[in-house]
Structure 1
Amino acid sequence: MGGYTGQANLTLSQGVRMMFYVLYPNETSFKTVDEVPDYVDKATAYFIVMLILEMLISSFWKGRPLRINDGLTSLSAGVISRLPDVAFRGVEVTTYIYMWNNFRMIELPWDSPWTWWLTFLGVDFGYYWFHRMTHEVNIMWAGHQTHHSSEDYNLTTALRQSVLQKYFSWMFYWPMAFFIPPSVFAVHLQFNLLYQFWIHTELINNLGPLELVLNTPSHHRVHHGRNPYCIDSNYAGTLIIWDRMFGTFVPEKDKVVYGLTHPINTFEPFSVQLQHLIYIWNTFWSTPGFSNKLSVIFKGPGWGPGKPRLGLPEELPKVTGDEKPYNPKASLALQIYSSIHFILLLAIYQHMFEAKQMLSSIMILARIVYILLMLTSLGFLLENRQVVNLLPCSCFI
C-alpha cells in the first residue's frame, strides 16, 4: 500500500490551524516521509464542519442556498481525485523521492526551521508556475478544467479536483529535491493544498492589508471568473506575491461570473473529469499539419491555426452578469435522496482509506468500482436522465 503512514494525532487547535497553514516547524517536522501524517485525510472532518457552516450562513443570512446538484458534483470529483491515493503514494512525492535519492547535491537538516520556511516558499513558488501552466498548456488544462467547471463558488468548489492534474505537477517541484528532504516537502505539499480550501467562498469580502501578501477569497474569486478581465490571472497558492511579481495579478472589480468560458452543462462525473481531454483528441485529428497538431497539445486552450499561443482575447464569449447556471429541475425529494446516498457512499469511501492496510487489493478495487458506478448514477439522477440503475448502498459496506 502507498500513501502517508504517519499516525500523529492532531489536537483541535492543530487541526484548525492546519486548515490555514499556521502550524509551526516544531509541530510538523519529520525525519522520514513514512512519518508524515496524511494531513489531507485528517482534514476530512474539518472540511465537513466548514462546509456545513458555510451552507447555513449562506442560506439563512445571505439567502443563497447551496445548489445540491452542483455541490454533489464537486464533492464527487473530490472523491474521484483521491481514489488512486488508496493504493499508491502520490506521484509528486514518489518522483521527488527518486530525485532526492539519486541526484541531491546537499542535504539541508530536516528539523531546521530555516529548512521549513524555505520549503514553504519553494512549494508555493513551484505551485504558482504549475498552476499557471495548467492554464497556458492545453494538455495540462485538460486536467485542471475540472476544478473550474463549477458555476458556483463555495467550499464544495474547492473539492472539485481532477484525477489527472497531479500527473503534471511533479516536475515543477523537482529542483527542490536537490537539497530539501522529502519529508519536509511532503508536509508543505499538503498544507499548500489545504490552505486553498477556505479561500473558495463568497462570504469573506476584503481582508485589508493581508490582501497585499496572501491569496484571499477576493483574489481567488477573480481566478475562477469567466469574465474577460478575470481570464489567466491570480495563480497563487498561498502567497499572492508571485502574481504581483510576474504580472498576473488582477484585483476583483465587476461581479464575477464563475465557470468555464464554454460551460460543460453536465453533472456526470466522467464527463466532468475527461470532457476536455476528449475535445483535445478530436481537435488533434481534425487539425491539419503535424506542427499544428503539436500546438493543439502544447499551446493554450484558446489557440488555433494563425492565432497567438494563448488565443485571441476578443474571441472570448461575452459576459453580461445575467448568465444562469446549468440547473435541471429536481424535486426536493430527489435532492434529499441523492444527498443521503452520497453521505452513505462517503462513509464507504472514508472507511476504505482508514482500513486500506487490512483490505485486500481485490476488495479495494471492488470498492473503487462501486464508488465510481454510484457517483455516475447520482450524476445521471441530478440531470434527470430517464435510464439509471442505482446499486444498493449496502453491498460493499
Structure 2
Amino acid sequence: MAELELEEVISGRQGPSFLTGFRRLFYLVTPNETTFQTREEVPQYIEQATPFFIMMILVEYAVTSLKNDSRTARLDDSISSISAGMIQQFLVIFLKSTYAFLYMWIHENCRLVDLPWDSPVTWWTAFITVEFFYYWFHRMSHEVNLLWAAHQGHHSSEDFNLTTALRQSVFQHASFFMLPMALVVPPAAYSVHFQFNILYQFWIHTELVTSLGFLEYILNTPSHHRVHHGRNPYCIDKNYGGTLIIFDRLFGTLQKKKKRVVYGLTHPLNTLGTRVWVQFCHLTHIWRTFWATPGLVSKLSALFKGPGWAPGKPRLGCIEDIPKVTHPEPKYDQQIPVFWSVYISGHFVMAVIFYQELFAVAKDVTTLACLGRIAFLIWTLSSIAAIMDKKPSAAALDFSRCLSYVVFDAVSRLWGPPALLLPHLMMNAMSGLYLMSAVIQGVNLLTPVIKTNTVKLD
C-alpha cells in the first residue's frame, strides 16, 4: 500500500494539500521538497494545479462582481480563453514524450558539465537558466513574425483576468526553445522549474493586485504584466519576464505603467472564436505578405523580422504606426440572450468534464480513441464559439454535434463498453442533455423554414 501511494504521488495522480498546492502557484517552494533524481519522479505540478486555477478564477470573478467593477470577466471572453488553453493541451498529449526524449538524449550524450542532482547549486542554476531562456523565447515570440503568429492568440483577449493566462496557442510551446539547457541542467531539475515558471505566470494575469512595493524591482508582477498585455503604443514589446523582471532591466525592455492600459491586439480580431481560426489567422496574413513582397531578402524579412516590419522600416516597425487608443475603448461583444448564455455554459461544463476524462484515460486508450475525443472537443468548442459570435452556421454545426453524440453513445452501448469512462448516472444525464440540445437546435433550424412556407401559403 505504501508503494502504491508513493507511485501515485510520483505520477501526479494524488494531489497536494490545499496549502501546498496554493503556495506552488507563487513559486513558494524549497529546494528540498522539489529536488528529484530522475524526471519520472517529478510530479505533474501543472495538472495538480487545475483545481486551484478554477478556485482563483471564481474568487476573482466574485470579488470584481461584489465591487461592481467594470473589469468583471465577461462569460464569452472567459470561455474563449479557457477553450484556447484546452486546445493547446491536446497537442501536448502527443508531443510531451517527444520533448522529454529529446531533452534527456541531449543531456545524456552532449552535456558539458555534470551537476549533482541533489545540490542546491543545481536547483538555483535550473531556476535562473529556465527564466533566462524563457525571457528570450518570449521576446522572440514578439519580435519574429513567424513566432508571433503562434503567440498572438494569447494577446487576443480584450480583457485581462486570470482566464487570460489560459489563452494559449496550440503552436507555441517553450520546450523546444529550452533544449540547449540540456547541455547543463539535469532533466529532473529542468522539469521542476519549467513547470513552476509556467504556474507562476497564472496569477499575474489580474487587475485586482496593484503594486507589490519593493518586489516590483525583482519579480514579474501583475503591474508589469498588465503593461505587457497593453496595446497602448508605450506598452508594445515590453516586460517579457516569466517569474523575474531582472532580465528586462538588464536588456532594456522594462516599462512601467504610465496610464490606463487598453488590452488586446493592436488590430483586434473581433471574434470570440472559433479558436481554430484564431490559431491560424496570422499565418494566413504572413502567407499573403510573403507572396506580395518582392525580392528574396524582403520575403525572408516578412518571416523573420517583427510583425510591424514593412520594406523601408526598422526591424520591429515604427511605433508611430501603432493605432492610438482611447479609454474606455469599446470591446467586441455580441451580447447573446440569457438563454443561450446558459446553454453554452452547460455545454462548456460538459466539455471540461470530457477534457478531464481525456487526460485521465489518455495512456489507457488507443490513439484513435484519443483522437476521436479530441475531435469532438474541438467540435464542441467551435460550436460554442459560433453561438457566441452569432454565426449563421451555428445552429447546424451544433445540431449535428449533439445528434452525433447521441447516436455514437447509443451505438457504443449496444456493441460494447461505453465510449466514456464516467459514472453511469452522469453518462445518462449527459445523453439526455445532448438529446434535448439536438431538439432545441433542430427547432432553431426549422423555424425559418416554417416561417417562409407559412408566408408563401398566405
- Tell me, yes or no, whether TM beats 0.5: yes
Q: Distance in 1 between matches of 2:52 and 2:219?
A: 21
Do the aligned partners of 1:153 and 1:202 also contact (CA within 8 Å) in 2? yes
Q: Distance in 1 between matches of 2:222 and 2:381?
A: 29
Note closer, same or farther for the CA distance 1:187–1:227 as it changes in structure 2 (3 Å cut).
same
- Give 1 or 2 for the bigger CA radius of gyration: 2
Note closer, same or farther for the CA distance 1:196–1:10 as it changes in structure 2 (3 Å cut).
same
Q: Secondary structure at the match of 2:96?
A: coil
Paired letter, 1:89: K
Which blocks of at least 5 consecutive residues in structure 2 are unaligned?
Answer: 1-9, 410-418, 421-458
1:59 corresponds in structure 2 to 65
1:323 corresponds in structure 2 to 329
Deviation at 1:92, TM superposition (A): 4.5
Give the counterpart of 1:261 among 262, 266, 270.
266
Do the aligned partners of 1:6 and 1:35 also contact (CA within 8 Å) in 2? no
1:187 corresponds in structure 2 to 192
Paired letter, 1:149: S
Which blocks of at least 5 consecutive residues in structure 1 are unaligned?
Answer: none
* Residue 131 of structure 2 is aligned to residue 124 of structure 1: yes
Q: Secondary structure at the match of 2:77?
A: helix
Deviation at 1:88, TM superposition (A): 3.3
2:247 corresponds in structure 1 to 242
* Residue 257 of structure 2 is aligned to residue 252 of structure 1: yes
Give the counterpart of 1:36 among 33, 42, 56.
42
Question: Which string of whole-angstrom CA distances, capped at 9 and with x for unpartnered residues, describes residues 154-187 of structure 1?
Answer: 0010000011111xx3454233212211111011
2:448 corresponds in structure 1 to none
Q: Secondary structure at the match of 1:330?
A: coil
- Aligned positions of 1:247-396 closer than 5 A: 247-267=252-272, 268-388=274-394, 389-390=397-398, 391-392=401-402, 395=409
Deviation at 1:12, TM superposition (A): 1.8
Do the aligned partners of 1:213 and 1:239 also contact (CA within 8 Å) in 2? yes
Q: Distance in 2 between matches of 1:240 and 1:37?
A: 27
* Residue 9 of structure 2 is aligned to residue 17 of structure 1: no
Q: Distance in 1 between matches of 2:179 and 2:61?
A: 39
Do the aligned partners of 2:15 and 2:48 also contact (CA within 8 Å) in 1? no
* Residue 87 of structure 2 is aligned to residue 80 of structure 1: yes
1:218 corresponds in structure 2 to 223
Paired letter, 1:309: R
Q: Distance in 1 between matches of 2:209 and 2:68?
A: 12
- Name which of structure 1's ranges 90-99 and 370-379 shifts more when overlaid on structure 2: 90-99
Q: Secondary structure at the match of 1:323?
A: coil
Paired letter, 1:35: E
Note closer, same or farther for the CA distance 1:297–1:164 as it changes in structure 2 (3 Å cut).
same
Do the aligned partners of 2:12 and 2:47 also contact (CA within 8 Å) in 1? no
Note closer, same or farther for the CA distance 1:26–1:8 as it changes in structure 2 (3 Å cut).
farther
Q: Distance in 2 between matches of 1:318 and 1:202?
A: 22
Do the aligned partners of 2:12 and 2:48 also contact (CA within 8 Å) in 1? no
Q: Secondary structure at the match of 2:78?
A: helix
Q: Distance in 1 between matches of 2:98 and 2:171?
A: 11
Tell me the number of residue pairs that the alignment of Structure 1 and Structure 2 aligns: 392
Deviation at 1:26, TM superposition (A): 1.5
Q: Secondary structure at the match of 2:95?
A: coil
* Residue 47 of structure 2 is aligned to residue 47 of structure 1: no
Note closer, same or farther for the CA distance 1:265–1:90 as it changes in structure 2 (3 Å cut).
farther
Deviation at 1:9, TM superposition (A): 4.1
Tell me how large the CA RMSD over aligned residues is: 1.6
Note closer, same or farther for the CA distance 1:51–1:90 as it changes in structure 2 (3 Å cut).
farther
Do the aligned partners of 1:70 and 1:152 also contact (CA within 8 Å) in 2? yes
Deviation at 1:75, TM superposition (A): 0.5
1:159 corresponds in structure 2 to 166
Paired letter, 2:73: L
Q: Distance in 2 between matches of 1:91 and 1:71?
A: 31
2:430 corresponds in structure 1 to none
- Name which of structure 1's ranges 382-391 and 203-212 shifts more when overlaid on structure 2: 382-391
Q: Distance in 2 between matches of 1:152 and 1:226?
A: 12
* Residue 152 of structure 2 is aligned to residue 145 of structure 1: yes
Deviation at 1:6, TM superposition (A): 4.9
Paired letter, 1:208: G
Q: Distance in 1 between matches of 2:336 and 2:13?
A: 43
Q: Distance in 2 between matches of 1:73 and 1:367?
A: 19
Q: Distance in 2 between matches of 1:217 and 1:253?
A: 14
Deviation at 1:90, TM superposition (A): 5.8
Q: Distance in 2 between matches of 1:7 and 1:88?
A: 20
Deviation at 1:321, TM superposition (A): 1.8
Question: Which string of whole-angstrom CA distances, capped at 9 and with x for unpartnered residues, describes residues 80-112 of structure 1?
Answer: 010122233165544322321221122211122
Paired letter, 1:296: A
| Larger RCO: 1 or 2 (CA < 8 Å, sep 6+) | 1
Give the counterpart of 2:102 among 72, 77, 95.
95
Question: Which string of whole-angstrom CA distances, capped at 9 and with x for unpartnered residues, describes residues 127-171 of structure 1?
Answer: 0111011000000001110100000000010000011111xx345
**Structure 2-normalised TM-score?**
0.83
* Residue 208 of structure 2 is aligned to residue 209 of structure 1: no
Q: Distance in 2 between matches of 1:151 and 1:193?
A: 22
2:439 corresponds in structure 1 to none
Give the counterpart of 1:105 among 109, 112, 115.
112
Q: Secondary structure at the match of 1:173?
A: helix
* Residue 198 of structure 2 is aligned to residue 198 of structure 1: no
Do the aligned partners of 1:91 and 1:170 also contact (CA within 8 Å) in 2? no
